[in-house]
C-alpha cells in the first residue's frame, strides 16, 4: 500500500502534476454537484477569470449545450443563460490568451477552455469537461483544472439523450456555481450526490418559476399599495393631489426598474418605457404647482 502510494507520488512528480489552487469551484447541476480543482500556475489568467466569474454568478443558470459521450461535455457561453447576464457581469467577461502546458494532457475529467476555431486567444466563458482522453486537443486548448469530485454526476449527465448536433434533448442546467475558498470550507459542505436527471430538471424548473413569480408578485404589491394610498386620500378628501404625484413618482420608477431590463429585445416595450418616462417627467413638473396665474404687480 505504501509502495503504491509512493509510486503514485513519484509518478505525479515525474509527470509534473499541476499544482492545484486552494479554492474549489462547485457546479450545482440538475444531476448533482461537480467539484472542480483549478490549476493557477498552469493557466493563471484563465483560472483568475473563471474564479471571478463564478464569484459574480456568471455561470448561474448556464447549461451544458454539447454532449458527446466519451469525448466532451461542453457548456454554452454565459450569454446563453436562463436569466440574462447583468451589465456588470457582461463587462467582466474578457478574452483569454492561450495558456498551453506541454506536460498536461487532455484526459477524462480535465477542464478545457473552448474557443473559436480561428482564434487561439478567443476563449471567454465556454469550457468542456473531458469525458475521455483526447490527445489531439493537447497544445491547442487551455487546460485549467479537473473534476475532483462528482464522477457519478458526470455519468448521469452522459446518459441524457442528444440529437444529431450533440445537443442534449433535455437542457442540462447549472442551477448555480460557487467558489469554496478553503479545503476546510469544502469539508463542511454537503454535496449533492448524483441524482436521476428527470428529478433534477423538475426541481430546477420549480425554483426558477418560484423566483420569477416572486418578482412579479413584488411589483403587484407595490403598485397595489400605491393605488390604495391614492384611494384612501381620495376618500378622506385630503392631500389627493400630492399623494397622486408621489405615487406616480414611486410607481413610475418601480415600473421602470422592472420593465427597462426587459426592453432590450422588444422595440415596442423600449418605446413605451422611453415615452412613458418622458411623460412621467412632464407630469412631475406639476408637483406642488401653484394655481392659475394671478395679475402681476407692476
216 scored as a contact of other proteins (CB under 8 A): no
| Residues in contact with 28: Cβ distance below 8 Å, sequence separation at least 6, in sequence order | 174, 175, 176, 177, 178, 192
* Side-chain half-sphere exposure of 37, counting CA atoms within 13 A: 15
Return the axis-axis angle of helices 240-259 and 267-284, rounded to nearest 10°. 150
The CB-of-35 to other proteins minimum distance in angstroms stands at 27
Restricting to residues 223-242, name those near other proteins by CB under 8 A: 242
Q: Measured in whole angstroms, how far is the alpha carbon of residue 61 from the centre of its chain?
A: 5
Scanning 19-27, 72-80, 117-125, 259-267 for contacts with other proteins by CB under 8 A, the matching segment is: 259-267
93 scored as a contact of other proteins (CB under 8 A): no
The residue among 220 and 257 lying less far from other proteins, judged by its C-beta, is 257
94 scored as a contact of other proteins (CB under 8 A): no
Counting beta carbons within 10 angstroms of the beta carbon of residue 4, is it exposed (0 to 12), middle (13 to 18) or buried (19 or more)? Answer: exposed
289 scored as a contact of other proteins (CB under 8 A): yes
In the list 8, 19, 90, 116, the residue contacting other proteins (rule: CB under 8 A) is: 90
| Cβ atoms of 197 and 170 closer than 8 Å | yes
293 scored as a contact of other proteins (CB under 8 A): yes
212 scored as a contact of other proteins (CB under 8 A): no
260 scored as a contact of other proteins (CB under 8 A): yes
186: left (phi over 0), alpha (psi -120 to 50) or beta: alpha
270 scored as a contact of other proteins (CB under 8 A): yes
The residue among 135 and 290 lying less far from other proteins, judged by its C-beta, is 290
DSSP state of 263: G
The residue among 86 and 207 lying less far from other proteins, judged by its C-beta, is 86
| Cβ atoms of 195 and 31 closer than 8 Å | yes
Report the C-alpha gap between 99 and 111 in whole angstroms: 13
Positions that interact with other proteins (CB under 8 A): 86-91, 242, 246, 249-250, 253, 256-257, 260-261, 263-267, 270-271, 273-274, 277-278, 281-282, 284-285, 287-294, 296-298
Amino acid at each position: 500500500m505504501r509502495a503504491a502510494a509512493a509510486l503514485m507520488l513519484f509518478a505525479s512528480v515525474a509527470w509534473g502534476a499541476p499544482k492545484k489552487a486552494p479554492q474549489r469551484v462547485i457546479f450545482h447541476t440538475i444531476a448533482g454537484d461537480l467539484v472542480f480543482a483549478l490549476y493557477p500556475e498552469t493557466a493563471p489568467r484563465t483560472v483568475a477569470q473563471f474564479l471571478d466569474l463564478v464569484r459574480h454568478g456568471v455561470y448561474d443558470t448556464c447549461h451544458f449545450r454539447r454532449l458527446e459521450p466519451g469525448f466532451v461535455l461542453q457548456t454554452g457561453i454565459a450569454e446563453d443563460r436562463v436569466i440574462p447576464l447583468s451589465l456588470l457581469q457582461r463587462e467582466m467577461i474578457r478574452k483569454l490568451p492561450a495558456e498551453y502546458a506541454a506536460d498536461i494532457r487532455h484526459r477524462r475529467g480535465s477542464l478545457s477552455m473552448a474557443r473559436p476555431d480561428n482564434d487561439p486567444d478567443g476563449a471567454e466563458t465556454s469550457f468542456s469537461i473531458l469525458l475521455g482522453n483526447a490527445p489531439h486537443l493537447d497544445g491547442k486548448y487551455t487546460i485549467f483544472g479537473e473534476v475532483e469530485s462528482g464522477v457519478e454526476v458526470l455519468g448521469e449527465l452522459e446518459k441524457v439523450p442528444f440529437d444529431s448536433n450533440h445537443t442534449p434533448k433535455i437542457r442540462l442546467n447549472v442551477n448555480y456555481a460557487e467558489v469554496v475558498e478553503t479545503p476546510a470550507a469544502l469539508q463542511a459542505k454537503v454535496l449533492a450526490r448524483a441524482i436521476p436527471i428527470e428529478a433534477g430538471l423538475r426541481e430546477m424548473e420549480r425554483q426558477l418559476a418560484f423566483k420569477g413569480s416572486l418578482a412579479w408578485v413584488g411589483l403587484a404589491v407595490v403598485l397595489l399599495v400605491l393605488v390604495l394610498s391614492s384611494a384612501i386620500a381620495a376618500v378622506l378628501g385630503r392631500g389627493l393631489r400630492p399623494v397622486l404625484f408621489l405615487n406616480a413618482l414611486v410607481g413610475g420608477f418601480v415600473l421602470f426598474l422592472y420593465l427597462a431590463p426587459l426592453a432590450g429585445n422588444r422595440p415596442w416595450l423600449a418605446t413605451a418605457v422611453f415615452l412613458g418616462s418622458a411623460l412621467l417627467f412632464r407630469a412631475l413638473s406639476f408637483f406642488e404647482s401653484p394655481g392659475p396665474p394671478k395679475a402681476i404687480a407692476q
